[in-house]
Amino acid sequence: MPTIFLSPSTQENEYITGGNEEYYMNLIVDAMVPYLRANNLDFERSNPGESLDEILEHVNEQGRDLYLGLRSASSPMGENGQLQGVNIYHYIYTPIGGERAAYYIAGNLMEIYPRPDLVNIVPIDTREIRDTNSPSVIVELGYLGNPEDEMWMKQNINMIAKNLVLSITEFLNQPFKDINV
Q: Is the pLDDT of residue 181 over 70?
A: no
76-85: pLDDT as tens digits:
777 777 889 9
Question: What pLDDT is recorded for position 49?
Answer: 83
60 and 130 in contact (C-beta within 8 Å)? no
Residue 59 pLDDT class (50, 70, 90 cuts): confident
Question: What pLDDT is recorded for position 95?
Answer: 58
Mean pLDDT of 124-151: 93
CA 41, CA 33: separation in Å to the nearest integer?
9
Mean pLDDT of 54-67: 88
Q: Which amino acid is at 13?
A: N
Q: Is the dihedral of CA 11, 12, 13, 16 positive or negative?
A: positive
The single-letter DSSP state of residue 118 is G
Residue 94 pLDDT class (50, 70, 90 cuts): low
Give which of 53, 49, 85, 55 is closest to 68, Cα–Cα.
55
Q: Residue 159: which H helix or E strand, with range?
A: helix 157-171
CA 75, CA 81: separation in Å to the nearest integer?
7
Q: Is 75 in a helix, a strand, or coil?
A: coil
Q: Does domain 3-171 have CATH number 3.40.50.300?
A: no
What are the residues facing 3 on neighbouring strands?
A: 42
- Could you tell me the residue ranges of all domains in the chain? 3-171
